[in-house]
Structure 1
Amino acid sequence: MVYPEPWCMPRLFTPEIAAFYEGYYSNKGIKIIKGTVATGFIYNADGEVTEVQLKDGQSLEADIVVVGVGGRPLTTLFKGQVEEDKGGIKTDAFFKTSVPDVYAVGDVATFPLKLYNDVRRVEHVDHARKSAEQAVKAIMSEGKFIDEYDYLPYFYSRAFDLSWQFYGDNVGDTVLFGNNDPKAPKPKFGTYWIKDGKVVGAFLEGGSPDENKAIAKVARVQPAVSSLMELEKEGLTFACKI
């Protein structure tokens, strides 16, 4: 695995969270190279890739290459026709655009995120599905009242026998809890994000369905925290008692 950042998934992971997954993957025989990018590929006479050239001068032998470069919302088709904001098509809480009877959902929509009193874009399949549901409700409402979209940001991943979930906002101070030893037979750990004295985000690896529901509730309720040290000691118990 080759990526340009100083640690894995820095947009979400703290260095402590990333260290667990980097260690776990390394224990599975995966070599991780950080701080550089691929700049070229070497092919054989049959057109099969045999080598990857990196910006830092390294060359890696390869039989197959998977390139993950991300993507940007494709909104150029609508330039000058609909109002835009923050790289997406601006909508209201029902995903109506500035053009009557035109709706935008999923990654391309910049919408009011009620929980944080902010306007954002969210790139994830969970929001794509739920925003589409909201738009259909609005289209089919025939003038009847429907609730505004009130989304709790949610991300997840599964790899090997691991499974993590994250809810809320990853801003502010962080508290790590649990066992994040990548060599542990059944690792279970998590992180809280605390801003203005309240828990605003929660991450959990190895949680049960009920425990994942608990961290989702914490991120939604945003309970006050008096001591980061006490929060670290309580760990997952803090979420489960909310």
Structure 2
Amino acid sequence: MGDVVVIGAGQAGAALVARLRKQGFEGKITLIGDDPAPPYQRPPLSKAYLLGEMTQERLLLRPESFYADNDIDLKLGTSTISIDRAARTVTREGGDVIPYDQLALTTGSTARRLPAEVGGDLDGVFTLRTLHDVDTMAPHFVRDARVLIVGGGYIGLEAAAVASKLGLKVTLVEASDRILKRVAAPETSDYFRDLHTRHGVNLKEGTGLKRLLGDGKVTGAELSTGEVLELDFVLVGVGIIPCEGLARDAGLELDNGIKSDAYGRTSDPSIWAAGDCASFPWKNGRIRLESVGNAIDQAEVVADNILGAERPYVAAPWFWSDQYTVKLQIAGLNTGYDRIVTRQGPGDSVSYWYYAGDTLLALDAMNDPRSYMVGKRLIEMGKSPHPDAIRDTQTDLKALLKA
């Protein structure tokens, strides 16, 4: 089998190399990452870590000793600058050249930034994607500091929840007419709008950022409405983009990320892709999933296929978000839904079920783990209960799994 090199030391890269060793691969494994820290969890960065409730050590996916103990050469803190497909080598900053027989790209994604012409390069303007991002930004999270959060997706809302809990004065602007518009139904948007408003967040939907103000350091913002805000810092949460530059420069096919087949192979049969950076066949098209579950599951399938398994990856999408005391759990993908079925749970719990005709596509469950677990299983099994059964609180959800 020879040498396996994995570029990208995040969730997918860590899962891939661990799986190779677990499956008995005895060849040389090199895991390369540009982050100086060993592979770590990203979701807690905008939640427990930013709140100071989780240490850096607890963020690590595995103890750093795991890599040495399993003879995995972990190379951190320098970027890979090129892939030579003919010679089957990769070159890192500083000129280090590493040969490979099989190469896996788990390069992940990077946060979108505001352009410099609107003030995106001013000091005090942050994104929230890496450990360094949070460590740099955290000292600004002090009581009564004035923060503008740009973007009403899950990252922006999670950061708003943390800032509110720490006593900051929070304004969040969303250019669309509602928060979460790209990813959730109006019912879910309404739920979280009410939640954040009750916690003192000043939500401004249908409001864009015209420009940031300041000489070297951000001191304010002019909004699309003409309103001017005085600020201490800005957090930008307007999505992420796949890290596909290496693949592009190497001549690999791209399609909203690094294009791979159902087995994880790219257009070069000795190069594979997994995680946020990879697009793969899904139903009648292609998809790229940005989630922990996908990163792990897809990377493990790729590891098996590097070893000859020829096992197609069948995605079972799931996601989550923690805001204040609310845990949102999402199963499935809601693309193409035409109606929402609401199931009221005990207390403040509720779930919204996405249907396309008679077909159950997805659900959002707020503080309702029972509905989430049953809904996830139904979607994976291809079962679609009648909407009336979902809506009826007297229905035993577990019984639907056997129907």
Q: Which TM-score band (shorter chain)?
A: 0.7 to 0.9
Instruction: Please state how far the C-alpha of 1:152 moved relative to its aligned partner.
Output: 0.7
CA deviation profile, 1:217-239 (whole Å, cap 9, x unmatched): 0221232344x344322488446
Question: Contact 2:374–2:397 at 8 Å: present in 1 too?
Answer: no
CA distance in 2, matches of 1:49, 1:191: 40
SS in 2 for 1:194: strand
Instruction: Please state how far the C-alpha of 1:29 moved relative to its aligned partner.
Output: 0.6
Q: Which residue of 2 aligns with 1:201?
A: 362
2:299 to 132, 135, 140: 132
CA distance in 2, matches of 1:193, 1:39: 35
Instruction: Please state how far the C-alpha of 1:134 moved relative to its aligned partner.
Output: 1.7
SS in 2 for 1:24: helix
CA distance in 2, matches of 1:60, 1:187: 34
Q: Which residue of 2 aligns with 1:13?
A: 184
CA distance in 1, matches of 2:273, 2:400: 38
**Change over 3 Å in CA distance of 1:156–1:101 after alignment to 2:** same
SS in 2 for 1:6: coil
Question: Contact 2:378–2:384 at 8 Å: present in 1 too?
Answer: no
Q: Which residue of 1 aligns with 2:43?
A: none
Q: Which residue of 1 aligns with 2:251?
A: 81
Counterpart amino acid of residue 356 in structure 2: K
CA deviation profile, 1:165-221 (whole Å, cap 9, x unmatched): 111121322112216xxxx9x52011111124121212111023x543222102212
CA deviation profile, 1:126-162 (whole Å, cap 9, x unmatched): 21222222212222x2x3x353211111111011111
CA distance in 2, matches of 1:235, 1:128: 37
1:164 to 328, 343, 357: 328
SS in 2 for 1:201: strand
Asked whether 1:215 is paired with 2:382, we answer no
Q: How many residues align?
A: 227
Counterpart amino acid of residue 176 in structure 1: T
Q: Which residue of 1 aligns with 2:241?
A: 72
Counterpart amino acid of residue 112 in structure 1: P
Q: Which residue of 1 aligns with 2:391?
A: 232
Instruction: Tell which has more relative contact order, 1 or 2 (C-alpha 8 A, sep 6+).
Output: 2
Q: Which residue of 2 aligns with 1:52?
A: 221
SS in 2 for 1:204: strand
Instruction: Please state how far the C-alpha of 1:9 moved relative to its aligned partner.
Output: 0.7
Aligned CA-pair RMSD: 2.4
Counterpart amino acid of residue 244 in structure 2: T
CA distance in 1, matches of 2:288, 2:217: 39
Instruction: Please state how far the C-alpha of 1:106 moved relative to its aligned partner.
Output: 1.3
CA distance in 2, matches of 1:231, 1:148: 32
**Change over 3 Å in CA distance of 1:231–1:119 after alignment to 2:** same
SS in 1 for 2:276: helix
Question: Contact 1:177–1:236 at 8 Å: present in 2 too?
Answer: no
**Change over 3 Å in CA distance of 1:177–1:158 after alignment to 2:** same
Counterpart amino acid of residue 229 in structure 2: L
Q: Which residue of 1 aligns with 2:121?
A: none
TM-score relative to the length of structure 1:
0.83
**Change over 3 Å in CA distance of 1:146–1:211 after alignment to 2:** farther
Instruction: Please state how far the C-alpha of 1:34 moved relative to its aligned partner.
Output: 0.8
CA deviation profile, 1:90-149 (whole Å, cap 9, x unmatched): 212221111021011112211123xx454211122321222222212222x2x3x35321
Instruction: Please state how far the C-alpha of 1:83 moved relative to its aligned partner.
Output: 2.2
CA distance in 1, matches of 2:176, 2:271: 38
Q: Which residue of 2 aligns with 1:26?
A: 197
Question: Contact 1:211–1:240 at 8 Å: present in 2 too?
Answer: no
Asked whether 1:92 is paired with 2:261, we answer yes
Q: Which residue of 2 aligns with 1:150?
A: 314
Q: Which residue of 1 aligns with 2:276?
A: 107
Question: Contact 1:176–1:189 at 8 Å: present in 2 too?
Answer: yes
CA distance in 1, matches of 2:302, 2:257: 16
Instruction: Please state how far the C-alpha of 1:11 moved relative to its aligned partner.
Output: 1.9
Counterpart amino acid of residue 157 in structure 1: S
CA distance in 1, matches of 2:220, 2:284: 49
Q: Which residue of 1 aligns with 2:158?
A: none
Instruction: Please state how far the C-alpha of 1:35 moved relative to its aligned partner.
Output: 0.8
CA distance in 2, matches of 1:13, 1:111: 22
Counterpart amino acid of residue 155 in structure 1: F
**Change over 3 Å in CA distance of 1:93–1:235 after alignment to 2:** farther
2:208 to 37, 46, 49: 37
CA distance in 1, matches of 2:298, 2:393: 35
Q: Structure 1 vs Structure 2: percent identity of aligned residues? A: 24
